[in-house]
Amino acid sequence: MKIMSNNENISFWQRFLKSMTKANELGREEDVMLDHDYDGIKELDNVLPPWWIWGFYITIAISIFYYVAIHILGWYGQEDEYQAELKAHEAKVAKYKADHPELFKTENLIAYADAANIEKGKELFTTKTCTACHLTDGGGSIGPNMTDDYWILGGGFQNVFNTITKGGRPGKGMVAWESTITQKERRQLASYILTLRGTTPASPKAPEGDLWEGVKEPVGSAVESVEEVANDLKDGVEKIVKEVEEEVKKDAKKVEKIAKEVKEVKKKIHK
C-alpha cells in the first residue's frame, strides 16, 4: 500500500497558504528554536512570509516609479492641478456673468430714499471705517469733506457708488469695497453719503476737487420696484459667487501649502 505524505493529504488552498506564509510545522518548533530565552519566552527562527516580502518589493517599485514620474519627468504636479482648477472656476464664473449680464449692471441703479435703507447706509458708514477718514458727521479729516458741493471723483449717486465700489485715487487709502460688501450695501452707503450734502459738520474741511454741477438724478421710492427686486437677486447671486470663491481660495491655500512642502522635500532629496 502506498503511504501518502502530509503534503498530499492537505487541500490546494492549504498548500497555497503554506507557500505564502512559509510557516513551519508545529512539530518542527525544536528545529527552528533559537537560544534566546526571555523570562521563559522563546523565539522561533521563522522566515519572513513571501506575501510580506513581495508587498515590500512592490512598495519599493511604486516609490521609484512615483519619484521618476513626478519629480523627474514631471507627469503630474500639485501646482499644475491647482492652476487648472482655478482656471476652470474662473471660466465658470465668467460664463455665468456672460449668461446673466442683467445681474451685474450698475448703470441703472438709483439712490435709495426710504428711511430704512438710509439708516442701513449710516450704519455701514460707521462700521466700515468710513468715519476714520471722513469723520462721523462727514466733515472730512484724512479724506475729503462730504457735506459740500465739491467732489474729487465726481458727485452724484453713480460717481459716489463707483468710488465706493472701485476705490479712490491710487495711493490715497480709499480701498475698493466691491469684494467686501454687496451691491445693495454699497448702494445704501452711497445713498446715505448723499444725504450729508448741505449739513453742517463740527469742523468742516476745506473743499477739495471740482464743483459738482451734475444733472438731477432720480431717487428711489420707499416701495421697492421690480428693478430693486432684481438687484436683490443679484446680491444673492454675488454672495453665492463670493462664498464659492472663498472656498476655492481656502482649498488653493491648502494645495499651495502642500506644494511648498513638496518643494522643500525635493530640495532636501537633491542636496
Q: Which of 2-6, 56-60, 144-148 has the lowest mean pLDDT?
A: 2-6
- Residue 109: burial class (beta carbons within 10 Å; 0-12, 13-18, 19+): buried
Check whether residue 127 and residue 192 sit in a common domain.
yes
Tell me: pLDDT of 251 over 50: yes
Beta bridge partners of 211: 150
Q: With the CA atoms of 128, 218, 226 and 228 taken in that order, what torsion angle do they form, in degrees rounded to the nearest 10?
A: 0
- Whether residue 249 is contained in a domain is answered as no
Q: Classify 223 as helix, strand or coil.
A: coil
Start-end of H helices in the chain: 6-9, 12-21, 29-32, 50-66, 78-99, 115-127, 130-134, 156-166, 183-195, 226-270
- Whether residue 187 is contained in a domain is answered as yes
Check whether residue 54 and residue 116 sit in a common domain.
no
Domain encompassing residue 120: 111-219
Q: Which of 31-35, 110-114, 186-190 has the lowest mean pLDDT?
A: 31-35
Q: Which of 93-102, 104-113, 129-138, 244-253 has the lowest mean pLDDT?
A: 244-253
Tell me: pLDDT of 100 over 50: yes
Q: What pLDDT does 199 receive?
A: 92
State how far the Cα of 223 lies from the Cα of 21, in Å rounded to an integer: 83
With a threshold of 0.85, does the pTM exceed it?
no
Q: What pLDDT does 33 receive?
A: 78
Q: What pLDDT does 89 receive?
A: 92
Tell me: pLDDT of 26 over 60: yes
Identity (one letter) of the amino acid at 142?
I
Check whether residue 48 and residue 143 sit in a common domain.
no
Tell me: pLDDT of 35 over 90: no
Q: What pLDDT does 49 receive?
A: 83
Check whether residue 51 and residue 122 sit in a common domain.
no
Check whether residue 65 and residue 147 sit in a common domain.
no
Check whether residue 125 and residue 36 sit in a common domain.
no
Q: What single DSSP character describes residue 73?
A: S
Q: Which three cell numbers stand for residue 69?
A: 514620474
- Whether residue 129 is contained in a domain is answered as yes
- Whether residue 172 is contained in a domain is answered as yes
Tell me: pLDDT of 270 over 80: no
Contact 161, 115 (CB under 8 A): no
Q: Which of 8-22, 167-181, 224-238, 244-258 has the lowest mean pLDDT?
A: 224-238
State how far the Cα of 188 lies from the Cα of 180, in Å rounded to an integer: 14
Check whether residue 118 and residue 204 sit in a common domain.
yes
The helix or strand, by DSSP H or E, that contains position 43, with its residue range, turns out to be strand 41-44
The helix or strand, by DSSP H or E, that contains position 38, with its residue range, turns out to be strand 33-38
Contact 197, 91 (CB under 8 A): no
Check whether residue 117 and residue 213 sit in a common domain.
yes
The candidate with the shortest Cα–Cα distance to 130, out of 160, 108, 90, is 160
Check whether residue 52 and residue 117 sit in a common domain.
no
CATH number of 181's domain: 1.10.760.10
Q: What single DSSP character describes residue 69?
A: I
Asked which of 179, 196, 219 is the last residue of a domain, the reply is: 219
Better-predicted residue by pLDDT, 235 or 120: 120
- Whether residue 57 is contained in a domain is answered as yes
Number of structural domains found in the chain:
2
Check whether residue 118 and residue 66 sit in a common domain.
no
Asked which of 172, 201, 219 is the last residue of a domain, the reply is: 219
- Whether residue 271 is contained in a domain is answered as no
Q: What pLDDT does 192 receive?
A: 94
- Residue-averaged pLDDT of the chain: 81
State how far the Cα of 236 lies from the Cα of 183, in Å rounded to an integer: 10
Tell me: pLDDT of 193 over 90: yes
Residue with cell 445681474: 103
- Whether residue 159 is contained in a domain is answered as yes
- Residue 236's region, left for phi above 0, alpha for psi from -120 to 50, else beta, is alpha
Segment 173-177 mean pLDDT: 84
Check whether residue 212 and residue 120 sit in a common domain.
yes
- Whether residue 147 is contained in a domain is answered as yes
Tell me: pLDDT of 39 over 60: yes
Neighbours of 86 (CB within 10 A): 15
Contact 113, 177 (CB under 8 A): no
